[in-house]
């Protein structure tokens, strides 16, 4: 399965570089460690983009000192060599490298853990908006051999398969005999995300018989050559395998489609992040973060098969399972490919939502929809009192409205649909957080 990503330039605009960045007399200008998902191709591509944006010449990649390590090299007009090192051994290694001063920037395909946050507090608050930078959205695709007839699996079945409780394809209504499980290694943010979204939520460990891989490409190729294989992978690495639709709780079956991942509705969607220590004095680290969040950087994100944080308007087909008012909205308006979500246990927008506000406002301005052309739709998780759930969902929409009004956007309407139309199971905190969301619709 190969996904094509369309990029529209409504990312945060990048200010012109005022002056070339200083080049160190010795050693690399920047050291990046962490996620294999980012570091295998996306990270080096973003580094190349920054270096070319800085006017460096002959920018190219060279193998690093070890496996899954690269050096990106370029020269200034004065002939001075600039090197940036990218090591991709898994998200946890990025945070460890920050602590040991072996990296200036951590790449992660999962949020920083509380234990890591405490361990790195000497570097500043890594959960602050300036430090925690969402650079792209990815979806974990569940992949099968192309000849496997199954097209849909739910998250409960996934937990049982990868735990080893379900060991044959026949037990799932398929054919093929024994299931062969493929998984990323323990250092991988991809594995951390799968463990968090599927296994840990149900108190299940990964089966000891699972074949483990450090390389995303190698895992995908192994599944595509094994008729009995199943694995999980980041979207750009589906390659020749087949991705299946996923159901979580009462959600509709969802394929890992661009629009569903951009809004983070897809059950196995995740954020890719850079963590920039607030006390960092490395100008190349800050420059890479700024470049990545700009339109040129987000174009590179899209070109590498991930979901750029652009804003598009998409049509949504009304379905009988939708509330009548929502069906009417779908007939008359288009939905923007962004959802606003909130910090855990709070009515405050999270770090990604704060950046998305700027992108949404830019889209609304450029399309002349500032005056009563926007409807905000709030949702929430299930409560004992449906009326309370409806009220809370509307209050979340009102929180987004307040922020939009500050930028001159006058919404047309605000609606709250309570716990209707869940996109995730309400049996765990992660699912409830995903269900607490605000959609943006434009006329």
- What pLDDT digit, counting tens, does each position of 251-269 carry? 889 999 888 999 999 999 9
**At 4, is the pLDDT very low, low, confident or very high (cuts 50, 70, 90)?**
very low
What integer pLDDT is reported at residue 11 of this predicted model?
Answer: 43
Name the residue with higher pLDDT: 401 or 197. 401
The 10s digit of each residue's pLDDT in 334-375 is 999 999 987 765 667 888 998 899 999 999 999 999 999 999
Per-residue pLDDT, 6: 36
pLDDT at 2: 35
User: Distance from first CA to last CA of the chain, Å, rounded?
Assistant: 33
Q: Where are any strands of DSSP class E within 196-285?
A: 211-213, 229-234, 242-243, 245-247, 269-275
Phi/psi at 154 (nearest 5 deg)?
-100, 165
pLDDT value at residue 349: 85
- CATH number for the domain formed by residue range(s) 311-442: 3.30.1330.60
CA distances to 234, 312, 331, 369 from 269, in Å: 9, 18, 27, 29
DSSP β-bridge partners for residue 88 = 34
Task: Give tens-digit pLDDT for 41-91.
Answer: 999 999 999 999 999 999 999 999 999 999 999 999 999 999 999 999 999
Check residue 7 and give its pLDDT: 35
Given this model, what pLDDT does residue 8 score?
A: 37
pLDDT digits (tens, 9 = 90+) for 132-164: 999 999 889 999 999 999 999 999 999 999 999
Residues 17-26: what's their mean pLDDT? 81
pLDDT tens figures, 240-250: 999 999 999 88
- pLDDT per residue as tens digits for the range 192-231: 889 978 998 889 999 999 999 999 999 999 999 999 999 9
Could you write out the DSSP letters of every residue in 115-151? HHHHHTGGG--TTSTTTEEEEEEEEEEEEE-TT----
Q: Taking residues 102-106, report their average pLDDT.
A: 98
Residue ranges, CATH 3.40.190.10, the chain: 30-136+272-303, 139-260
Contact 38, 94 (CB under 8 A): no
Mean pLDDT (the chain) is 91
Question: Residue 166 pLDDT > 90, yes or no?
Answer: yes
Exposed/middle/buried for residue 211 (C-beta within 10 Å: 0-12, 13-18, 19+): middle
Residue 344's pLDDT is 63
Model confidence at 397: pLDDT above 80 = yes
Look up the pTM and report it: 0.81
**Residue 345 pLDDT:** 57
Q: What is the mean pLDDT of residues 311-333?
A: 95
Q: CATH classification of 139-260, choosing from 1.20.1250.20, 3.90.550.10, 3.40.50.300, 3.40.190.10?
A: 3.40.190.10
- Is pLDDT of 187 > 90? no
pLDDT-derived band of residue 376, with 50, 70 and 90 as boundaries?
very high
- Residue 179: the pLDDT is 98
Q: Report how far residue 40's alpha carbon sits from residue 70's, in angstroms, rounded to the nearest whole number.
A: 9
Half-sphere exposure of 28 (CA within 13 A, CB side): 22
What is Dmax (Cα atoms) for the chain? 69
Where in the chain is CATH 3.30.1330.60? 311-442
Would residue 244 be called left, alpha or beta, if left means φ above 0 and alpha means ψ between -120 and 50 degrees? beta
Over the stretch 269-304, which tens digit does the pLDDT of each residue have? 989 999 999 999 999 999 999 999 999 999 999 999
109 touches 35 (CB < 8 A): yes
Q: How far apart are CA 320 and CA 369, in angstroms?
A: 29
User: For 30-136+272-303, which CATH superfamily applies?
Assistant: Periplasmic binding protein-like II (3.40.190.10)
Determine the pLDDT at residue 386.
80
Does pLDDT of 12 surpass 80? Answer: no
Q: How much of the chain exceeds pLDDT 90, in percent?
A: 77
């Amino acid at each position: 399965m190969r996904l094509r990503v369309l990029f529209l330039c409504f990312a945060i605009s990048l200010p012109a570089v005022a002056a070339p960045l200083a080049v160190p007399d010795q050693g690399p200008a920047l050291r990046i460690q962490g996620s294999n998902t980012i570091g295998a191709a996306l990270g080096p591509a973003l580094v190349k983009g920054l270096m070319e944006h800085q006017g460096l010449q002959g920018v190219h990649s060279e193998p690093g000192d070890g496996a899954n390590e690269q050096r990106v090299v370029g020269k200034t007009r004065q002939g001075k060599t600039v090197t940036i090192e990218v090591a991709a051994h898994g998200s946890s290694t990025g945070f460890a490298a920050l602590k040991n001063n072996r990296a200036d920037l951590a790449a992660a395909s999962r949020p920083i853990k509380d234990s890591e946050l405490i361990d790195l507090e000497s570097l500043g608050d890594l959960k602050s908006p300036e430090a925690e930078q969402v650079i792209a959205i990815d979806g974990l695709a569940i992949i099968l051999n192309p000849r496997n007839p199954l097209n849909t699996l739910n998250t409960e079945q996934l937990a049982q398969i990868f735990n080893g409780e379900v060991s044959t394809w026949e037990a799932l209504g398929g054919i093929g005999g024994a299931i062969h499980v493929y998984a990323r290694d323990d250092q991988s943010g991809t594995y951390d995300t799968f463990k968090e979204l599927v296994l840990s939520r149900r108190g299940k460990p990964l089966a000891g018989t699972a074949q483990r891989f450090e390389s995303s490409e190698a895992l995908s190729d192994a599944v595509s050559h094994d008729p009995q294989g199943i694995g999980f992978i980041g979207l750009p690495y589906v390659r020749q395998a087949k991705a299946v639709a996923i159901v979580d709780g009462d959600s509709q079956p969802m394929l890992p489609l661009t629009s569903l991942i951009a809004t983070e509705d897809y059950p196995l969607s995740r954020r890719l992040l850079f963590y920039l220590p607030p006390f960092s004095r490395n100008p190349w680290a800050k420059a890479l973060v700024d470049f990545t969040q700009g339109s040129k950087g987000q174009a590179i994100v899209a070109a590498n098969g991930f979901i750029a944080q652009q804003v598009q308007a998409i049509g949504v087909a009304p379905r009988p399972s939708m509330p009548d008012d929502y069906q009417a909205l779908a007939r008359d308006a288009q939905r923007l490919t962004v959802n606003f979500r909130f910090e855990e246990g709070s009515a405050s927008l999270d770090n990604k939502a704060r950046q998305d506000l700027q992108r949404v406002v830019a889209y609304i301005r450029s399309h002349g929809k500032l005056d009563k052309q926007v409807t905000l739709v709030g949702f929430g998780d299930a409560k004992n009192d449906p009326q309370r759930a409806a009220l809370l969902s509307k209050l979340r929409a009102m929180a987004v409205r307040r922020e939009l009004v500050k930028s001159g956007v006058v919404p047309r309407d605000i609606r709250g649909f309570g716990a209707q139309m869940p996109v995730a199971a309400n049996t765990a905190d992660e699912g409830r957080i995903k269900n607490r969301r605000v959609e943006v619709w434009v006329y």
